[in-house]
Amino acid sequence: MFIVFIGPPGAGKGTQCKRLVEYLGIPQLSTGEMLRAVKAQDTALARWVAKHLDAGELAPDHLVMRIVAQRLSEPDCQNGCLFDGFPRTIIQAQLLDEFLSRQGKTLDLVLDLRVPQEELIRRLLRRAEEEHRGDDTPETIRSRLRVFEEQTAPLREYYAKRGLLESIDGTAPPDEVFEQIRAIVDRRLALRGRGR
């Protein structure tokens, strides 16, 4: 299965992806981790990526798609993957659709983790403290949440029109959130098995 996670920073996408990776036996593609890896290099590209990320902005669509396409061409992604933090814009969603279509594949499901803004800010500040993440300052968090609402939230409608979107209460305890996700995934797998 090819599954996209939508949700603002701090909604728990990474946590739930890790659990689904084990459940479905497919890899997790975290564009955040991929971009942080690029940022850590000593290149002009790394400095360019760093400039965007440090300001709480999204990396440019074509750059992110290039990194994702490269990863999707690897053997472990041939039967599916979990997209964590991608796509983040309508353009990225269209680029992904085109890429999968050229490969004779389609997106199976989009999981939308819903969490109120105050809870997100609380979670992100706690994560910044625990993981010593310099990119999670109160100003950057607000900026990232604003960017999500402006650029990523429209994906909900984009995918809902195609019948791919499933909303999940991200405020529940992690085990309960995963049970919601697993029930949805099992239902989609059953439908796919019957040829939808």
Active-site annotation holder among 126, 133, 146, 162: 133
If you search the block for the tokens 């796919």, which residue do you land on?
192
Let me know if 144 is a catalytic residue.
yes
Catalytic residue, candidates 127, 142, 156, 182: 127
Element (H, E) at 10: none
Instruction: Tell which residue, 126, 127, 115, has the closest CA to residue 170.
Output: 115
Q: Is 162 one of the catalytic residues? A: no
Which residues, listed in sequence order, are joined to residue 2 by a DSSP beta bridge?
A: 81
Verify whether residue 13 is a known catalytic residue: yes
DSSP 130-166: HHT-TT--HHHHHHHHHHIIIIITTHHHHHHTTT-EE
88 is catalytic: yes
Q: Is 127 a catalytic residue?
A: yes
Between strands 81-84 and 109-114, the pairing is unpaired
Query: Which residues are catalytically annotated?
Result: 13, 88, 127, 133, 144
